[in-house]
Amino acid sequence: MKFVLAPDSFKESITAKNAALAMKEGILKVFPDAECMIVPMADGGEGTVDSLVSYKNGKLLKVEVTGPLGRKVTAGYGLLGDGKTAVIEMASASGIHLVGLEERNPLHTTSYGTGELIRHALDQGVTRILLGIGGSATNDGGIGMLQALGASFKDVKGEELPFGGGGLEDLQLIDLSGLDQRIKNVKIDVACDVNNPLTGELGASYIFGPQKGASPEMVTYLDQNLKHYAEKIKEQFGIDIDCVEGAGAAGGLGAGLLAFLQAELKKGVDLVIEYTGLEEEIKDADFVFTGEGSIDGQTLFGKTPYGVADTAKKYEVPVIAFAGKIGDGADVLYEHGFTSIVGILKGVTSLEKALESGYENLAHAAETVCRILAISKK
């Protein structure tokens, strides 16, 4: 009997890999001869590097880069076992968690450190990059990232624009002559689960600016700056980026990636499924176990368990999903490839205790499900 174990992390409780190991422990108590394929999953955000590195026999590299406020920070990324694929989380270098509440100001925060991580990956000889762009502190249209890669953004005096979204109003010339030529030979896949345009009421500044520290007046100003940025891109390169879905992701980093690095934006979980080869493992499986900390009606919108179930549905493989919490609307998932959704808590407990006991509870829940499966096989 073959089980494919493809959970996301149970946040603040169990990593994706440990969640899969807990499932395996429960399964083997009932089916000691079962084949358990461990495929740690993620949705392109936090935990993606760890999941793919652990599955693909890769390694984590630590690099000192420029943080969102221009100060040096230590960031990391993954180099997968093939030595040709890098997995980068933008948040590691340019994330909002690196900026204190009182310092958040998207007029000045930069994506430069993300570009430095990409440049370091190029130094390793990679030919493919998976870039997760959630959790950014920036609203600079990706110019910081591009500056780190050798591009130049100049004002009317021919001087380089400063860090941040505030300087974009002075943009006159985009010079790509110094852009690192190695990037042309690299395929960049971007894990992006938002479809916001670059500007306007649904754009980067209006939707995401306030959480990055922008006042209402600042939001309007930043939006105007990004509009000017889009106009210069269209004027100089003939690329109309403003209304493209996903261009507004990560403070407009999506626009910079699409316009200048020929990147492809895809749903995060779809990319992780592709990079892990999950579908190939599922084809001949008897059961798929997945899960994460909370499962509810929102799971349909690009969450890991949905992506796993949707893949298994192609091959009519039953999917059991485990969760610390089963929320409102979860029943709709039964129409989308889920066979059963199982809560892992043994009884009423505090949140602290539930988080501490995540591994034990998940292993027990997996064992319980397998005892039911064993009865059905008699």
For residue range 151-186, what is the model confidence (pLDDT) as tens digits? 999 999 999 999 999 999 999 999 999 999 999 999
Structure token digits, residue 252: 């407009």
Q: What is the mean pLDDT for each group of 10 consecutive residues in the chain (378 residues)?
A: 95 91 98 96 85 90 97 96 95 94 95 98 97 94 98 97 96 97 96 92 96 96 98 97 95 97 93 93 97 92 92 97 95 95 90 89 97 84
Q: What is the pLDDT of residue 113?
A: 98
Domains identified in the chain and CATH numbers: 2-39+277-376 (3.40.50.10350), 48-268 (3.90.1510.10)
Q: What is the pLDDT of residue 56?
A: 87
Structure-token match 């440990």, residue found:
18
Q: What is the pLDDT of residue 279?
A: 96
Give CA–CA dist 77/341, Å, rounded: 33
Q: What is the pLDDT of residue 378?
A: 62
For every residue of the chain, which 3-state class applies, written as one string? CEEEECCCCECCCECHHHHHHHHHHHHHHHCCCCEEEECCCCCCCCCHHHHHHHHCCCEEEEEEEECCCCCEEEEEEEECCCCCEEEEEHHHHHEHHHCCHHHCCCCCCCCHHHHHHHHHHHHCCCCEEEEECCCECCCCCCHHHHHHCCCEEECCCCCECCCCHHHHHHCCEEECCCCCHHHHHCEEEEECCCCCCCCCCCCHHHHHCHHHCCCHHHHHHHHHHHHHHHHHHHHHHCCCCCCCCCCCHHHHHHHHHHHHCCCEEECHHHHHHHHHCHHHHHCCCCEEEEEEEEECHHHHCCCHHHHHHHHHHCCCCCEEEEEEEECCCHHHHHHCCCCEEEECCCCCCCHHHHHHCHHHHHHHHHHHHHHHHHHHCC
The answer to whether the CB of 228 falls within 8 A of the CB of 141 is: no
pTM of the model: 0.88
Structure token digits, residue 221: 């100003």
For residue range 86-112, what is the model confidence (pLDDT) as tens digits? 999 999 999 999 999 999 999 999 999
- The total of other beta-carbon atoms located within 10 Å of residue 371's CB is 13
Cβ within 8 Å of residue 263, ≥6 positions away: 131, 188, 189, 190, 257
Choose among 135, 123, 51: nearest CA to 92: 135
